[in-house]
Chains A and B, each alone.
Chain A
Amino acid sequence: MSVETKTSKNTQCFHCGDPVTHTVYEADGHAFCCLGCQSVYRVLSSNNMQQYYRYNVHPGKKKAERSERYDYLDEEVIADKLIDFRNEEISMVTFYIPAIHCSSCIWLLEHLYKLHPAIVASQSDFMKKQVDITFKHGELSLRRLVELLVDVGYEPKITLQDVVKEGRKSSQKGLVAKIAVAGFCFGNSMMLSFPEYFGMAAFETKYSAFFGLMNIGFSLPVLLYSGRDYFTAAWHSLRRRQVNLDVPLALGIFVLFARTAWEIFTGSGPGFADTLCGLVFFLLVGRWVQHRAYHHISFERDYRSYFPVAVTRLLDGAAKPIPIAEIHVGDRLLIRNNEIVPADAILLKGDAAIDFSFVTGESEPVRKVLGEIIYAGGRQTGEAIELEVVKAVSQSYLTKLWNNEAFKQYEKKFRTFSNLVSRYFTVVLLAIALSAMAYWFLQADTVRAWGAFTAVLIIACPCALALSSPFTLSAALSVFDRNGFYVKNTAAVEQLAAVDCLVFDKTGTISSPSASRMQFEGSLLADELAMVVAVCRNSNHPLSREVVNWAGTVAYMSSRDFREVVGKGVEAIVEGHHVRIGSGLFIGLPDADGRSGEGSKVHVTIDGVAKGWFSVEQPWRGNLSGVMKELSRTYELNLITGDNDKEKSQLHGIFPTGADLLFNKLPGEKLEYIQSLQHKGNQVCMLGDGLNDAGALKQADLGIAVSDDINNFSPGCDAILDGKSFSKLPRFFKFAKHAVRVIHMSFCISLMYNIVGLGFAVTGMMSPLFAAVLMPLSTVTIIGFTTVAVHLYASKNQLTDHQS
């Protein structure tokens, strides 16, 4: 035994790096922590792919215990939905694989052809955690391909809502092409404009007409192709009787072109072609920066991402996988261990212990008896059960949330600063332009009147203003990103600064499911603890795993006659001692507090002697009370949860006095509560984690999903907060406010440039050179200022890399 203890201290699993507690799993002189890791190694080594282990030490990830069944992939209807392209010989498919994390992963996924000759090619995208696979479907079925990936430890995530395909739609290909054209024209027209700026000798003036025509040629694609979106956006906003920033921009672009064309064709001047091209180029770059994705996370997830693609239906005694959409009321479903119940159903057969962690964040399984309704979204743990569907998938208790009005609107409308400002800006701009024109008309100087009018519109074109928001907010986004806070878009950062009321969910949001604190009351000798661990190791129950984690490294003992009574407890014989672990009822103790049903206490007896009990303390996230105290200074804090109120008194101590603490709320009620806060005039930010918060997250002015693994699926939201960064929350809010302050400051700077420019423009005497210098100068100032200011504020809030 002592020898084994030694190995357990020193050896790490060759595959995943976890400490090895058994010496059972070995291959080629390497030790493995579990059968899963060992079998992955066997598969790789038998295909001559040990190179996988050369690029990184312990490149593998521990295989999740649960293994899904993929027989549904043999159904043509389902397989066709997943396959991107197919001809007579080959098929192409793209999988999202959350396990991708290192260079070994890339190597393995790009050498899949070694595993099976039917795999023609595979290419991985590390950032998106995707792999494209081309395979001969005649020799390898889609199901076998997926099982092959599972065998080597790279389980693809297959869901109804195909995140992979939706991610592709939002690519910026079109925008990049427009930037390329604008940049090309900008460079060339600048080259052709330089001679005019530097002055031409008399004999050279014959070229100026040629240069002018070339310039018009370069500004045409910019006007018609690159700048097209500004005209359509301006037109749409005018039709809705709104004035956004696109209106003065479109006006500026059009006037620039019109005046350039007029000057060149009448031979009265060189025009502003390079200013036009430069303006559009910078504007488009700003737009690109704004939509640049720092992280490939999908924020538009709904219940379809969580639900399986198919479910097993029992019809006349035969089991057949069918797509979820084809489930009808009255169907009989077979739900195996670790499968998700897709629709509200009545339990007909079997022992149900449903894990609702997707829905509520609570990982403790709930027991159900025959005839009871099981709500959709729960995951069965234990034996296979049979259910009769009582409601269609879209009408179920949980999923009908998505029929709510809040989900109808596609995109939330954030009130952004630039939208607010542009309304006044445009009006003032037009007023100045028209009054300058009127003044020169009164002076009977028609040429100058038109000159002044167009010059005002050109010089005051809010290019710098249009760039200040994207550059500031996108710099802020990247700061958030590096701190484990993933915000959907730049507008959401502004909304973050605007909220004044925070609503928290409890389980999974302010409590962390992974860091639960276990305590043992009673006394256990080291040997006895080892016996307890030996028993618990056999069980998949969260509390059993918790006990094993809590015990840490102990001597390895083998157990026999293991028996698990689902939802009650486990027992086994270890080294001749009869160890029973479980609820008071299970081990035959009169339960003192009558709380056996909650499973919060795990009793231990060895040979019938009570040794004490484990209790799980509610594991609040790090520094929760500190975070709440800091937030309560600026924000109204509330709590709404679907759980019972057993921790009410504890939460009263954490939340400020006067905060709403609401318990036992249904998903729909959460949504209504957010609405009622909004009716009171609050800007509400909801922080939640489970699917039952999805409605509230959507309804709130800003929805933040808290997740312990960002590659896991989180409900649709505006931002995803890594659970580890929860304690930084007050700083995130403060930093968002600072970012908005930077926008205000850069707005002032761009206004100053505008005022200086306008001083020249109203006189009608603006040289093209002046515009050509002023426009890029103001743009560069704004970009430089916002970048520097945002990073200064980031370090002030201790959100820079070296401080976090």
Chain B
Amino acid sequence: MSAIFFLIGCSVFIALIFLAAFFWANRTGQHEDTYTPSIRILFDDEVEGQATEVERPATEIKKAESQ
């Protein structure tokens, strides 16, 4: 039955790791801006070597946006 002591120790230890992770996230400002990253992820990466992007005329862009 002393396995219980071991298991409780393990569970508390794991919980402490999560608590520490939360502290780290909080300290590095991950909770400060909860909106901008959700947009940032949607930006396209520019393809290397394709520096001069072929530009589409304005009307075409509008069409693409509305679709």
* A188 in contact (CB, < 8 A): yes
Contact with A along B24-67 (1 / 0, CB 8 A): 00110001110110011011101000011101011001100100
Would you call A180 and B5 a contact (CB within 8 A)?
A: no
* Complex contacts, A608 vs chain B, CB 8 Å: none
Would you call A126 and B33 a contact (CB within 8 A)?
A: yes
Task: Tell which of B11, B19, B62 touches A180, judged by Cβ atoms closer than 8 Å.
Answer: B19
Q: CA A209 – CA B55 in complex, angstroms?
A: 74
Task: Tell which of B4, B33, B44, B51 touches A125, judged by Cβ atoms closer than 8 Å.
Answer: B33
* Interface 9-mer from A45-53, A133-141, A460-468: A45-53
B61 to chain A, nearest CB (A): 7
Would you call A173 and B26 a contact (CB within 8 A)?
A: yes
B59 to chain A, nearest CB (A): 10
For the residues of A in contact with B, the DSSP-based class is helix
* Complex contacts, A214 vs chain B, CB 8 Å: 8, 12
Beta-carbon nearest neighbor of A102 in chain B: B39
Would you call A48 and B33 a contact (CB within 8 A)?
A: no
Q: Given the known A-B contacts A51-B53, A176-B31, A181-B19, are A103 and B58 also in contact in the complex, defined by CB atoms under 8 Å?
A: no
* Complex contacts, A29 vs chain B, CB 8 Å: 57-58
Would you call B5 and A210 a contact (CB within 8 A)?
A: yes
Beta-carbon nearest neighbor of B52 in chain A: A48
* Complex contacts, A192 vs chain B, CB 8 Å: 8
* Complex contacts, B51 vs chain A, CB 8 Å: 48
B28 to chain A, nearest CB (A): 11
Would you call B52 and A171 a contact (CB within 8 A)?
A: no
Would you call A106 and B61 a contact (CB within 8 A)?
A: no
Would you call B42 and A103 a contact (CB within 8 A)?
A: yes
Q: Given the known A-B contacts A54-B61, A177-B26, A180-B23, are A125 and B55 also in contact in the complex, defined by CB atoms under 8 Å?
A: no
* Complex contacts, A55 vs chain B, CB 8 Å: 43
* Complex contacts, A50 vs chain B, CB 8 Å: 53, 55
* Complex contacts, A177 vs chain B, CB 8 Å: 23, 26
Would you call A184 and B19 a contact (CB within 8 A)?
A: yes
* A128 in contact (CB, < 8 A): yes
Task: Tell which of A57, A124, A128, A176 touches B26, judged by Cβ atoms closer than 8 Å.
Answer: A176
* Complex contacts, A57 vs chain B, CB 8 Å: 61-62, 65
Task: Tell which of B12, B26, B42 touches A188, judged by Cβ atoms closer than 8 Å.
Answer: B12
Would you call A51 and B46 a contact (CB within 8 A)?
A: yes
Q: Given the known A-B contacts A124-B36, A184-B15, A214-B8, are A14 and B44 also in contact in the complex, defined by CB atoms under 8 Å?
A: no
* A325 in contact (CB, < 8 A): no
Would you call A126 and B39 a contact (CB within 8 A)?
A: yes
Beta-carbon nearest neighbor of A126 in chain B: B36
Would you call B33 and A127 a contact (CB within 8 A)?
A: yes
* Complex contacts, B35 vs chain A, CB 8 Å: 126-127
Q: CA A128 – CA B19 in complex, angstroms?
A: 28
* A187 in contact (CB, < 8 A): yes
Q: CA A307 – CA B40 in complex, angstroms?
A: 34
Q: CA A127 – CA B36 in complex, angstroms?
A: 8
* A110 in contact (CB, < 8 A): yes
Would you call B23 and A51 a contact (CB within 8 A)?
A: no
Q: CA A207 – CA B23 in complex, angstroms?
A: 32
Interface size on B, residues (CB 8 A): 33
B35 to chain A, nearest CB (A): 5
Q: CA A522 – CA B51 in complex, angstroms?
A: 59
Would you call A187 and B57 a contact (CB within 8 A)?
A: no
* Complex contacts, A171 vs chain B, CB 8 Å: 32
Q: CA A626 – CA B53 in complex, angstroms?
A: 56
* A28 in contact (CB, < 8 A): yes
A123 to chain B, nearest CB (A): 8
A41 to chain B, nearest CB (A): 11
Beta-carbon nearest neighbor of A192 in chain B: B8
* A235 in contact (CB, < 8 A): no
* Complex contacts, B26 vs chain A, CB 8 Å: 173, 176-177, 180
Q: CA A176 – CA B25 in complex, angstroms?
A: 11
In chain B, positions 1-22 with a C-beta closer than 8 Å to chain A are 4-5, 8, 11-12, 15-16, 18-19, 22
* A328 in contact (CB, < 8 A): no
Q: CA A499 – CA B65 in complex, angstroms?
A: 49
* Complex contacts, B23 vs chain A, CB 8 Å: 177, 180
Q: CA A442 – CA B27 in complex, angstroms?
A: 55
Q: CA A180 – CA B18 in complex, angstroms?
A: 10
* A30 in contact (CB, < 8 A): yes
Q: CA A180 – CA B52 in complex, angstroms?
A: 49
Contact with B along A569-603 (1 / 0, CB 8 A): 00000000000000000000000000000000000
* Complex contacts, A210 vs chain B, CB 8 Å: 5
* A753 in contact (CB, < 8 A): no
* A113 in contact (CB, < 8 A): no
Q: CA A180 – CA B15 in complex, angstroms?
A: 11
Contact with B along A92-117 (1 / 0, CB 8 A): 00000000000100110010000000
Q: CA A207 – CA B62 in complex, angstroms?
A: 70
B23 to chain A, nearest CB (A): 6
Would you call B40 and A30 a contact (CB within 8 A)?
A: no
* Complex contacts, B18 vs chain A, CB 8 Å: 184
* Complex contacts, B5 vs chain A, CB 8 Å: 210
B25 to chain A, nearest CB (A): 10
B67 to chain A, nearest CB (A): 13
B34 to chain A, nearest CB (A): 8
Would you call B15 and A187 a contact (CB within 8 A)?
A: yes
Q: CA A51 – CA B46 in complex, angstroms?
A: 9
Beta-carbon nearest neighbor of A28 in chain B: B55
B63 to chain A, nearest CB (A): 10
* Complex contacts, B22 vs chain A, CB 8 Å: 180
In chain A, positions 533-570 with a C-beta closer than 8 Å to chain B are none
* Complex contacts, A191 vs chain B, CB 8 Å: 11
In chain A, positions 648-671 with a C-beta closer than 8 Å to chain B are none
Given contacts A29-B58, A48-B53, A106-B39, 18 further A-B contacts (CB under 8 A): A28-B55, A29-B57, A48-B51, A51-B46, A51-B53, A56-B65, A57-B65, A125-B33, A126-B33, A127-B35, A176-B26, A176-B31, A180-B19, A180-B23, A180-B26, A181-B19, A184-B16, A184-B19
Q: List 10 A-B contacts (CB under 8 A).
A: A28-B55, A50-B53, A56-B65, A127-B36, A173-B27, A176-B26, A176-B31, A181-B19, A188-B12, A214-B12
Give the 9 A-B CB pairs with smallest separation, nearest first: A126-B36, A125-B33, A103-B39, A184-B19, A180-B22, A127-B35, A126-B35, A14-B58, A30-B58
